[in-house]
Structure 1
């Protein structure tokens, strides 16, 4: 006679698996609780970052030349404090999360600790307060990975690569209010050690963080709704041109970023060994460009938004923002390159708009944005979904994807090594250098 499926041994096995004390439930609680906290912290971070940018712009409006003094000094102070308090908080934070995912237990203490996350939070806001050309999306990834790591530690759940992948992707979703982009980013960029069986919890964490952001901040579109489309002929003409120009330019940024920490010449070695002085010089470059143009400060969000909406910017805007972002990124201060890269891409799109004057201008701008962003981060699917979700331009999905794929190929001609993967290598060995993206 077959043994009953409800025999005492079977019931005990079911209880061990499904009661709240079981590992599977603790893991679910850690993922979902961490996702909620990630959404809340991301919203607070966004609010403080925006206020810091507004305070700086108010200062420049009253004293236009003040940044020539306060921006270099601010860069120097931020780098000095970061190196003293938490060297792994420098740069964007995405390379640190990628490195932490390869050794989760060591990564929590060395690359995404609470101390590092707090320093990252404060210093990124400070960077915007001094006019640095940085974004908050990369730092949100590192902070969110830290939150997810500690949520698992609190629930006594073993750390895995998927913990940091989920946290980082949830950070992208909450920062841009783009859940689908968070999922794509998890699979395409962070997941060198992706655990397929954890996919459901990872996506749940991403969606919950996005829902928290959506619920508290409202149903907003990051760059505003852009409803223009391109017909087949226009797409076949514009996508290759945008892909090649944006990909080569973005690849050049990536190569310069990677080379800045590796060039063996004596002057560069001397500069790298005098990090505060180097940061001061980078701050002066950012200040000079900002004072001269009035357009290169901060994330570049407002300028990109205005260009998408149809406003004109000078032809040199993209180049000026490129230099300001590069100087900020290699200085070693905490801050990301997502938002500034989208702003540079808008500048490239404005140049493309003069090449295709009869085409829908907003659509051409988005092609430039997705091309340059892809060239920098080499994640075409993430780039397409971010642009599509932040502008509600789903009618452009195919032209955007074609542009991104061409840009990815073009970028490889300039820089074969992907930016974040190259930067993450210096954290895998435990050597946190000054220059990081």
Structure 2
């Protein structure tokens, strides 16, 4: 009898404690694999779309003046009509979803439908020449995957969206440390001790899945640039201030359009969103044509060329900033991570003659500083840039540039772009509930 009672107690303990625990852990592992696979698929689709666009643009240099505004108009209409919630990068949607308690409201921001739509709409945007990246959308896709898998758990886990978002960054950049830091600093603004181990596991699994398929690589190649201790360090505050002003200005404009411009201009944009998207597309097309096509897409190859010391037109940095800004406000899906890093590299080409630094080192500093200014998340910025360039010799200058730029940006824009846009999404959702 004692043996039988022991077996019954052991079986009961397994069903009530150990089985749910291992099911929960398995959920995060499986989710990490699917997020990694989605990130790889997104990378292949985005790269192929950009390749096809550039082939056409090289053969017919002025074709974007027709194709890009038309494509923007179509994508804005399709997104608003059929896939509302897929606009922009997707990171604000995930931040907003994490703060919601209503499951139906969450599903309007993170769902399998939006994940699939995001992949194809972003690919179409790059096929039309949008100045957009795939990393932010991968965050929304990762969160959507984890949110869907959560229905198979006995109790939905509070860290699912956080894990999916962090895993998305890890797999998209092949930068697991950046994914972890992004999850802590940008997505949660705190370290959630109860779910931290499961989140880290998901990030690692997603990164390993991407690594197994794409191999070990750094996004912008490897750099061994250094900054001599002494006079060259006086360039750090200059980089921080210039990039902080540029990044803060970018964020303020995007946030202003998201909340709605005052007066007649705001009413016209709201009444004619498709026409506004076409106008944004025309501005992107002009920026691309003026830079011989390098302002289209992510411009990651152009950033790599700058890091390698190749000469580029001085218009690249400012026009890439404008192209990315109007893409972000147009209402079509697309991220700002990669384009922001390219803008930072472009700013470096403008500062090189003034500061006299090696362009490779200056570009890395400006990339981190500009991204930090846009996000107002300096730790995330310098960790991402360090992992994407494989350069650890510049970690202290890069860190200082990021901190200074983030501080300067806050003087122009009170809140980081993702959290400000998330608040706007939450406000809309609250208004809709009050009306109903």
C-alpha displacement of 1:265: 1.7
1:348 counterpart residue number: 347
Separation of aligned partners in 2, 1:17 and 1:303 = 56
SS at match of 2:195: helix
- Relative to 1, partners in 2 of residues 1:234 and 1:39: Cα closer, same or farther, differing over 3 Å? farther
2:221 counterpart residue number: 224
Q: 2:47 aligns with which of 47, 50, 53?
A: 50
Separation of aligned partners in 1, 2:83 and 2:249 = 29
Separation of aligned partners in 2, 1:74 and 1:51 = 17
Q: Is 2:375–2:418's contact at 8 Å kept on the other side of the alignment? A: yes
Render the CA deviation track for 1:149-181: whole Å, top value 9, x for unaligned. Answer: 111213344142x11111011000100100000
Separation of aligned partners in 2, 1:72 and 1:432 = 33
In the alignment, structure 1 residue 89 sits paired with structure 2 residue 124: no
C-alpha displacement of 1:354: 1.5
Q: 2:179 aligns with which of 173, 176, 182?
A: 182
Separation of aligned partners in 2, 1:363 and 1:137 = 24
Separation of aligned partners in 1, 2:430 and 2:350 = 38
- Relative to 1, partners in 2 of residues 1:379 and 1:414: Cα closer, same or farther, differing over 3 Å? same
Separation of aligned partners in 2, 1:84 and 1:137 = 24
Q: 2:98 aligns with which of 78, 97, 101?
A: 101
2:318 counterpart residue number: 319
Q: 2:283 aligns with which of 282, 285, 298?
A: 285
1:380 counterpart residue number: 378
2:330 counterpart residue number: 331
- Relative to 1, partners in 2 of residues 1:234 and 1:18: Cα closer, same or farther, differing over 3 Å? farther
Q: 2:413 aligns with which of 401, 412, 415?
A: 415
Which is worse superposed, 366-375 or 148-157?
148-157
Q: Is 2:227–2:233's contact at 8 Å kept on the other side of the alignment? A: no
SS at match of 2:225: coil
1:195 counterpart residue number: 192
1:135 counterpart residue number: 133
Separation of aligned partners in 2, 1:118 and 1:155 = 22
1:120 counterpart residue number: 118
Q: Is 2:118–2:333's contact at 8 Å kept on the other side of the alignment? A: yes
C-alpha displacement of 1:273: 2.0
Q: Is 1:235–1:399's contact at 8 Å kept on the other side of the alignment? A: no
Q: 2:247 aligns with which of 241, 247, 250?
A: 250
- Relative to 1, partners in 2 of residues 1:296 and 1:216: Cα closer, same or farther, differing over 3 Å? same
Render the CA deviation track for 1:315-368: whole Å, top value 9, x for unaligned. Answer: 2211100110011110000000000000000011112222222x3321111111
SS at match of 1:355: helix
SS at match of 2:397: helix
User: May I ask how many residue pairs the two structures share in their alignment?
Assistant: 426
In the alignment, structure 1 residue 78 sits paired with structure 2 residue 75: yes
SS at match of 2:107: helix
Q: Is 1:88–1:96's contact at 8 Å kept on the other side of the alignment? A: yes
Render the CA deviation track for 1:38-67: whole Å, top value 9, x for unaligned. Answer: 001100110010000000000011111111
